[in-house]
Amino acid sequence: MDQVRLISDTIQNSEGKKRVYLIAFLAAMSISLAIIEHVVPRPLPWMRIGLANAITLYSFGVLKPREVLLLVLARVVATSLLIGSFLSVGFLLSITGALSSFFVMLFLFMFLRRLFSFVGISIAGALTSNAVQLVVINALFINSRISYYLLPFILLFALVGGTLSGLFGRFLTEHI
């Protein structure tokens, strides 16, 4: 009950309202980018550039970690509801990839920011997301090492997608 009161008090003050509006705006941007990416043809169903992660990268600089986590979860759930994949295999892949990527990027942003640029953090997140999704697919469906032959292709795609997402995240940070 105290948490509900704390949230209510935060929303009622002017600074709290601005924060809630910022989170809502970032969530809307993130969900919009995810939906746009959903309609873009992909080489494999779970592979995408991950432009919504640029919003996550930007958010690390302006939100608290738990707020960014809420943003990531809202993006995955809302996007899956809007495209009709909630609680499907696609949702499972999306949530595992998003959460693993979030935690890797958060760690790098918080503790190794001086060693990694936005692009480096984004690439690490993309590599993590794609690798975790491949492990989940292998564990649930394929159960064969043959799927790991896709790994070089998947990692190359993550490198390209992570670079683009990181550049976009850096652009947002510099211009917003």
pLDDT of residue 103: 96
Q: How many helices (H) and strands (E) does the chain have?
A: 7, 0
pLDDT of residue 152: 83
Is residue 39 very low, low, confident or very high in pLDDT (cuts 50, 70, 90)? confident
What would the pLDDT profile of 77-123 be if each residue is shown by its tens digit? 998 898 887 887 778 888 998 999 999 999 999 898 888 888 899 99
pLDDT of residue 118: 85
AA identity, residue 136: V
What would the pLDDT profile of 141-170 be if each residue is shown by its tens digit? 776 676 777 778 888 888 988 888 888 888
Architecture of domain 2-175: Orthogonal Bundle (1.10)
Is residue 68 very low, low, confident or very high in pLDDT (cuts 50, 70, 90)? very high
pLDDT of residue 7: 55
Q: What is the DSSP string of 79-128?
A: HHHHHT-TTSHHHHHHHHHHHHHHHHHHHHHHHSTTT--HHHHHHHHHHH
d(CA 46, CA 55): 19
This prediction's pTM: 0.80
Is residue 47 very low, low, confident or very high in pLDDT (cuts 50, 70, 90)? low
AA identity, residue 117: S
* pLDDT (mean) for 113-135: 87
Identify whether the C-beta of residue 165 lies closer than 8 Å to the C-beta of residue 37: no
> Is the Cα dihedral 103, 138, 38, 94 positive or negative?
negative
d(CA 20, CA 29): 14
**In the predicted model, what is the mean pLDDT of the chain?**
83
